[in-house]
Structure 1
């Protein structure tokens, strides 16, 4: 299945139905199909071959995302590029992918100008919304240079690239040079099937994409389109606009990372907004406070749906549907709120020790995965591919365990585990304890070098609006919940925490600002 199969399936259910919407502008399924054929024809005329990598550099925008289906229809490989990356990181990714074409918005012309001369294979550049850098043609000019539409027979759903590769996704450069994840048509098909079988979908869905389409919000569009649903695209992540759109557009599905769920709970319009249309509000990409999850279900409704995955095994390693958040009597199932759900039907999940031994229920080790959800490997990096796939399983880098009933629990990223006084301290467990405090909006726990303890547990907290957390009180609160060994030895209060482009807290940034000799470490309130 090419990516165009999801669009074409939706069109078969109603070509005049709205497909991609932003503001007052909407493209029907038939219009997106026609646009995709024109983009496919233009790519082919420009010299793009099946299997070539084509990058899109854009904010959330319907025309930009519609172009993705043109890339797929030409048999090329979509490379979503996050516009909030640093220019050098994007240059490294485009070089790694061997991109021959780049479609970009005019606002990113300075970024393009900074990298294009060092990308010799990049010969086709098109500005999506006007004339671009150095006279690059606008999308309108580029499409008008040839036939209005490419032949459906030549550029139909069967024009899949060699090996079924449909996406190249950058992992980010927080641990060195970024890697490229190779996702095939089978990976996306498996993810879409798991989405449709794991969560409620009644009628034609209306999906609100607030998070970047370059990440989870983008791939969730495919199962929505398979049902003929409408994707409402938000160009900027404003929670006031988000709430207004849910009410006005009668949104049925959306996705928010936990940090934005926390911010939503603090928004003054939440309790006066009609959210009755929601069938599923997905959350994932980072652990969520069980305490705040209970609050979210009470105030937003019994529509929260968890997903756990990663770029290498997209989205659906394990899931917890809205119904599974509740007991049979309708009360919150608090006993499983700290879990990441159950392994999905088309994946096999286990827990492994460093020597490759699979561990029994209750024992902690690295979470490993098998199945058609798992990537085709890292692009042009056989060593990293072999390392991630040792012992015949994909290694997620997450530490966790399975309980006797098959529920999966994540306790930390392997790289974030702290060894203090000879004891393993899992930062996620400390964060869960602190997030239960009424003055804490968000927090991050890291280990810093310590002569006595080896590593000391340090927490940096972001206060809820209108509160002034007391570090001594927070230390005592954590100690009462998880004991003195795990409780932080030090608590700092910052106005905000450094975050990635998708809202994840950046622990490496926090660590670098707190290590001795590093400048710019803000003190309490800084």
Structure 2
């Protein structure tokens, strides 16, 4: 089903319910619905073409939410622009998807005008918060209040194979690939989130992670559930912790790095978290020790999902009940799990020859089902490769236990080969982050004459912890053995990250491999 149908369903059921809080903005479902009709009507009157690519370049802002809904009512494909990327990369991506429209925030005015100059397909620019350099504001561009509503162009099957979005993958090498997110797969994801994150009281979603990433679909899932959505302009640990109690927040999504910042805050135990039902972690693996600590601080609301842009967000689910039990000592190993397969898909493990592996063996995580998107935009060969043997290939290596819980071991191409042994980075990182005072850790392999590659830990530590490399190495030898324990430990103020916030292993390795002829040793 189309996203706009999920929204209209809730607008019909609860027109006067508060849908959006963002700064001074307060909108009910009925008021937001009126805005989407006025925006879609203006776009259609302005020559909008069905399924045209519509880019949004903005920090978190209330108008981003209504613009997304408005472009979907018009029949557009959402193109989220990651403003953390280099401008040249965003320009290349917008040329690739042939974006026709650009909605932007005034804080990105200079970038937006450079995009217009270098992306010839863009024919209309609208500034969402003010008039800017001859471009109308969103308020002045929309049709006047009271204008006729846009005709409903939907079909009985929900326009399943049409595009909801073309979302860039977050890889660290080569140009970004655009994932074709279909109404079918996006809708299946929204319904899955609604099923696994249901609650008895009216839901209140707090959105502070970028709407251009996982927070976007999580926010739309909240709207599909009839939630009140609170949008903060960005992540600030203290502001988020205060907002939980002040707004009686029931649902939130954050990446693990944001959780770590909150846990390290001196006042983390000073706020009210009693309303929280689901504190979702996704986007990268979370430290089991930090997850256990989070349950102690935030209560039995911590949960985790696993998915990808191509395999939307909720392929597996680790529920608050399971996490709380594991933190209390019932199957504590599940703190390192990404959960069990959701109802929306089948998840298996596969070897390099396309054979499905039995429980307990390590292989590539593959999946099939409703949350698999429509491949890569205008890249049929790459899509076919990713769907080899009739399954979507994640590129992640994992295993499954006898209870159906999946454990991600590493990226398929991100193993350290040391002395002839394969060492998975995540196992090293989990061991290091068990130590008090370790805020973050990334494991990489660096050239070594004896071992080929030496396991190396890049560590961000609390200065007051007075950690030493010897302490880290000794702890890891005791926990995971001498083969997997780091041979080197480097303390850094921060760990390099990609524009989507994941560890940039390529940048970390470059420091040590820059004089090597190849990236293996």
TM-score range relative to shorter protein: over 0.9
Q: Which of 406, 428, 439 lines up with 2:404 in the alignment?
A: 406
CA RMSD of aligned residues (A): 2.0
Structure 1, unmatched stretches of 5+, are: 519-526
Conservation of the 8 A alpha-carbon contact between 1:325 and 1:333: no
How far apart are the structure 2 equivalents of 1:205 and 1:428? 34
How many angstroms does 1:199 deviate by? 2.8
Shift of 1:111: 1.1
Which of these residues, 432, 435, 449, is aligned with residue 434 of structure 1?
Answer: 432
Q: CA deviation at 1:161?
A: 6.6
Q: What CA distance in whole angstroms lies between the structure 1 residues aligned with 2:130 and 2:273? A: 38
Equivalent position of 2:174 in the other structure: 176
After alignment, is 50-59 or 19-28 more displaced? Answer: 19-28
Name the CA distance, whole Å, in 2 between partners of 1:311 and 1:162: 18
Residue 53 of structure 1 aligns with which residue? 53
User: Where does 1:435-474 land on structure 2 (aligned, <5 Å)?
Assistant: 435-474=433-472
Residue in structure 2 matched with residue 362 of structure 1 by the alignment? 360
Q: Any idea what SS the aligned residue of 2:161 has?
A: helix
Match of 2:141 in 1: 142
The residue number in structure 2 matching 1:79 is: 79
C-alpha distance in 2 between matches for 1:484 and 1:147: 70
CA distance in 2, matches of 1:289, 1:335: 12
Q: CA deviation at 1:331?
A: 5.2
Q: CA deviation at 1:269?
A: 2.1
**Which residue of the other structure, out of 185, 188, 195, is the alignment partner of 1:187?**
185
Aligned partners of 1:330, 1:430: CA distance in 2, in Å?
Answer: 23
1:209 aligns with 2:216: no
Output the TM-score relative to the length of structure 2: 0.95
Where 1:163 maps in the other structure, the secondary structure is: coil
Deviation per CA, 1:387-413: give whole Å up to 9, x if none. Answer: 110111000010001112211110001
Paired residues of 2:172 and 2:498 also in contact (CA < 8 A):
no
Q: How does 1:16-165 map to 2 (within 5 A)?
A: 16-133=16-133, 135-144=134-143, 149-154=147-152, 163-165=161-163
8 Å contact from structure 2 (residues 410, 426) kept in 1? yes
> 2:215, 2:421 → 1: CA distance?
38
| 1:261 paired to 2:259 | yes
Q: Secondary structure at the match of 2:313?
A: strand
Shift of 1:194: 1.5
**Which residue does 1:394 correspond to in 2?**
392
Return the alpha-carbon distance in structure 2 between the equivalents of residues 325 and 157 of structure 1: 41
Cα distance in 2 for residues equivalent to 1:379 and 1:150:
35
CA shift digits 1:234-293 (9 cap, x unpaired) = 102111110111110010000111111111111122111010000110012111111111
Query: CA–CA distance in 1 between the matches of 2:97 and 2:333?
Result: 44
Q: Deviations over 1:68-126 (max 9, x none)?
A: 11111111111111122111111111111111111001111111222322211111111
CA spacing shift, 1:200–1:497, aligned 2, 3 Å: same
Kept after mapping to 1: 8 A contact 2:160/2:183: no
Separation (CA, whole Å) in 2 of partners of 1:130 and 1:151:
24
| Cα pair distance change 1:149/1:446, threshold 3 Å | farther
Task: Report the CA distance between 1:24 and its aligned residue.
Answer: 3.5
Helix, strand or coil at the partner of 2:476: helix
**Within 2, Cα distance between the matches of 1:45 and 1:159?**
27
Measured after TM superposition, the shift of residue 327 of structure 1 is 3.7
SS in 2 for 1:460: strand
CA distance in 2, matches of 1:85, 1:216: 16
Q: Give per-residue Cα distances to partners, 1:186-243, cap 9 Å, x unaligned.
A: 1112112221222341221000011111111110122211221101001021111101
* 1:487-498 paired onto structure 2 within 5 Å: 487-498=485-496
